[in-house]
């Protein structure tokens, strides 16, 4: 690796850096557009422009070698949509994404709104709630039904989702400790595909049909089920719980949202910008390139730090300010380009439904205890968020 590239030695994946990552991102952004992380044998991209350029150029920056920071997960995830390129990626993504396009989601829109209204009404009755439980209610009730996951097999879903994200970081203690959970999820999913145990009419049933028709192989069918489920829970819970905390700590913004609920879609983007649920994924460089004047050799791994790009002062005015009036739609928290989040319309529908229901019924959100972040290599979400919901008269 060329030694003109700035180096950052602190561990981005230490517990302290995971719980308080933004000072690390700020230092990385100051060091330069491309920063070497010797500990992780990768180049970090902490600024917005380079992150977007890399996500756009999927021919040069491949996902096919895996997007994790360790070779074990990269090997295990090679049948997924996330970790594929070209024709493999197109085939998998087409199969997966059509159920989550805005047109397809129209059929469940009313149901999502109804469930959000019920969840919020119960939370308002309770008065004091854990914001994480509130944020989890909708994803946990919508996604497993959409995927067709058996009703009696849902107990471990959240643990498995967190384990998947831990495994997408480096092979540190946290990543290694998740091996049993990841294997359990793989075994369970394989059995579902083998026994055809997915709910009829679901997205999972589509995947089984594609396997029957020979459009995908059995390993791909299992991987696609995991593709659907693993990234869909913690991420959305992260976005909704971050929004709850942000509105609790910015009462003026909450009042603005209540006055003008038309701001809800942008508020969701702003929450994802401000506390991006996925901190970063890697790419493999296919040919020698220059990024902002920095030469990067073929075979190198670059780490696209969505969470840092979303706080880059070169792109955003006062990036550390939560402001639902700014145009946040270009934030990179859902990725960008060909691998941009396939489930973002669903995630946004869920988050918007919860915020809209809350805005109708809640005058103020208050933090009533110490929030705790979940220690996870890749996902940023609260583990605990004690809130009081003060009802509107």
Region binding ligand HEM by CB under 6 A among candidate stretches 25-33, 109-117, 206-214, 233-241: 233-241
Under rule CB under 6 A, residue 333 binds ligand HEM: yes
CA atoms in the 13 A half-sphere facing the CB of 233 = 27
Pairing of strands 42-45, 301-304: parallel
Under rule CB under 6 A, residue 265 binds ligand HEM: no
- Of all residues in the shown chain, the one whose CB is closest to ligand HEM is 343
Residue from 168, 272, 387, 389 touching ligand HEM (CB under 6 A): that is 272
Separation of alpha carbons 172 and 233, rounded Å: 23
Under rule CB under 6 A, residue 18 binds ligand HEM: no
- Which residues, in sequence order, are bridge partners of residue 61? 285
Residue from 70, 178, 236, 284 touching ligand HEM (CB under 6 A): that is 236
Retrieve residue 294's tokens: 């920095």
Residue from 235, 241, 253, 377 touching ligand HEM (CB under 6 A): that is 235
Residue from 13, 228, 316, 382 touching ligand HEM (CB under 6 A): that is 228
- Which residues, in sequence order, are bridge partners of residue 302? 43, 283
Retrieve residue 234's tokens: 């913690």
Nearer to ligand HEM, 60 or 344 (CB): 344
Which H or E element spans position 363?
strand 362-367
Region binding ligand HEM by CB under 6 A among candidate stretches 5-13, 122-130, 164-172, 340-348: 340-348
Number of amino acids touching ligand HEM (CB under 6 A): 30
Under rule CB under 6 A, residue 135 binds ligand HEM: no
Say whether 302 sits in a helix, a strand or coil: strand
Under rule CB under 6 A, residue 278 binds ligand HEM: yes
Binding mask 163-192 for ligand HEM (x = CB under 6 A): ------------------------------
Q: What is the dihedral of CA 280, 287, 2, 171, to 10 degrees?
A: 40
Instruction: Give the position of tokens 């859902």.
Output: 334
Under rule CB under 6 A, residue 65 binds ligand HEM: no
Under rule CB under 6 A, residue 296 binds ligand HEM: no
* Cα angle for residues 271, 275, 276 (degrees, 5° grid): 95
Min. distance of Cβ 33 from ligand HEM in angstroms? Answer: 18
Min. distance of Cβ 347 from ligand HEM in angstroms? Answer: 4
Retrieve residue 198's tokens: 């997915």
Separation of alpha carbons 226 and 89, rounded Å: 15
Nearer to ligand HEM, 76 or 346 (CB): 346
Nearer to ligand HEM, 124 or 208 (CB): 208
Under rule CB under 6 A, residue 136 binds ligand HEM: no
Separation of alpha carbons 192 and 198, rounded Å: 7
Which sign does the torsion angle of CA 236, 237, 243, 246 carry?
Answer: negative
Residue from 12, 143, 210, 309 touching ligand HEM (CB under 6 A): that is 143
CB 168 within 8 A of CB 68: yes
Under rule CB under 6 A, residue 341 binds ligand HEM: yes
Nearer to ligand HEM, 222 or 344 (CB): 344
* Chain residues 30-59 in contact with ligand HEM, contact rule CB under 6 A: none
Nearer to ligand HEM, 294 or 310 (CB): 310
* Chain residues 72-91 in contact with ligand HEM, contact rule CB under 6 A: 81-82
Nearer to ligand HEM, 138 or 208 (CB): 138
Which H or E element spans position 43?
strand 42-45
Under rule CB under 6 A, residue 96 binds ligand HEM: yes
Region binding ligand HEM by CB under 6 A among candidate stretches 2-10, 32-40, 163-171, 227-235: 227-235
- Residue 143 to residues 162, 168, 196, 220, 314: CA-CA distances in angstroms? 16, 21, 18, 20, 36
What does DSSP assign to residue 283? E
Pairing of strands 281-285, 61-62: antiparallel
Residue 261, number of CB atoms within 10 A of its CB: 14
Separation of alpha carbons 124 and 129, rounded Å: 9
Please give the residue ranges that form the binding site for ligand HEM (CB under 6 A): 63, 67, 81-82, 93, 96, 100, 143, 227-228, 231-232, 235-236, 239, 272, 277-278, 281, 306, 333-335, 339, 341-344, 346-347
């Amino acid at each position: 690796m060329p030694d003109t590239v700035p180096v950052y030695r602190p561990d981005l994946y230490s517990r302290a850096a995971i719980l308080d990552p933004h000072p690390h991102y700020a230092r990385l952004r100051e060091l330069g557009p491309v920063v070497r992380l010797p500990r992780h044998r990768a180049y970090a991209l902490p600024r917005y422009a380079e992150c977007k350029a890399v996500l756009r150029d999927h021919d040069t920056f491949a996902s096919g070698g895996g997007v994790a920071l360790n070779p074990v997960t990269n090997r295990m995830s090679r049948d997924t949509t996330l970790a594929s390129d070209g024709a493999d990626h197109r085939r998998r993504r087409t199969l997966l994404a059509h159920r989550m396009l805005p047109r397809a989601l129209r059929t469940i829109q009313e149901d999502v709104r109804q469930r959000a209204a019920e969840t919020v009404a119960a939370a308002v009755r309770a008065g004091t709630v854990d914001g994480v439980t509130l944020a989890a209610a909708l994803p946990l009730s919508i996604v497993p039904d959409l995927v067709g996951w058996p009703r009696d097999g849902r107990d471990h879903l959240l643990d498995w989702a967190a384990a998947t994200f831990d495994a997408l970081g480096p092979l540190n203690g946290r990543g290694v400790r998740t091996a049993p959970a990841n294997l359990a999820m793989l075994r369970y999913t394989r059995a579902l595909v083998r026994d055809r145990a997915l709910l009829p009419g679901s997205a999972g049933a589509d995947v089984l049909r594609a396997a029957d028709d020979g459009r995908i192989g059995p390993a791909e069918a299992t991987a696609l089920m995991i593709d659907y489920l693993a990234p869909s829970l913690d991420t959305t819970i992260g976005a909704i719980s971050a929004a709850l905390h942000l509105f609790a700590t910015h009462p003026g913004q909450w009042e603005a949202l209540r006055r003008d609920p038309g701001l809800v879609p942008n508020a969701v983007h702003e929450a994802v910008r401000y506390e991006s649920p996925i901190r970063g994924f890697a790419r493999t460089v296919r040919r020698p390139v220059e990024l902002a004047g920095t030469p990067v050799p073929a075979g190198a791994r670059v780490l696209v730090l969505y969470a840092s790009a979303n706080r880059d002062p070169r792109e955003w005015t006062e990036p550390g300010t939560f402001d639902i009036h700014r145009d946040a739609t270009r934030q990179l928290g859902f990725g960008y380009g060909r691998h941009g989040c396939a489930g973002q319309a669903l995630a946004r529908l869920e988050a918007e439904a919860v915020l809209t229901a809350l805005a109708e019924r809640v005058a103020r959100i208050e933090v009533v205890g110490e929030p705790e972040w979940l220690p996870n290599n890749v996902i940023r979400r609260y583990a605990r968020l004690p809130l009081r919901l003060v009802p509107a008269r």
